[in-house]
Amino acid sequence: MAERSKFQQKIIKNYYDNRESIALQRVQELVTELYLTEGKKRDKHWKSLASHLEKLGVKQEQIDHLIAQNNPELVARLVEKLGKDS
């Protein structure tokens, strides 16, 4: 495997340093998508949202509850809280 350049190393380091804020931003985008979509696409967004919430350290029980409720407003409140904590 080839050695990474300093530029590549810096990009990788910055990604891992900002991984939490990247996940939070993606969750915010997915909340918007949940409001706008229906059917299979909405289910896909819920699955993606669950994986990003896990990255943010949200407990699995809470994620399961949000999915069961199928209410984007609840997720939006959680995202607001997570944004204030960051």
Inform me whether the pLDDT recorded for 66 exceeds 90.
yes
Domain borders along the chain are 24-85
Q: In which band, very low, low, confident or very high, does the pLDDT at 1 lie, cut at 50, 70 and 90?
A: low
Half-sphere exposure for 51 (CA within 13 Å, toward CB): 7
Residue 83 pLDDT grade (very low, low, confident, very high; cuts 50, 70, 90): confident
Mean pLDDT of the chain: 92
Token pair of 38, please? Answer: 């229906």
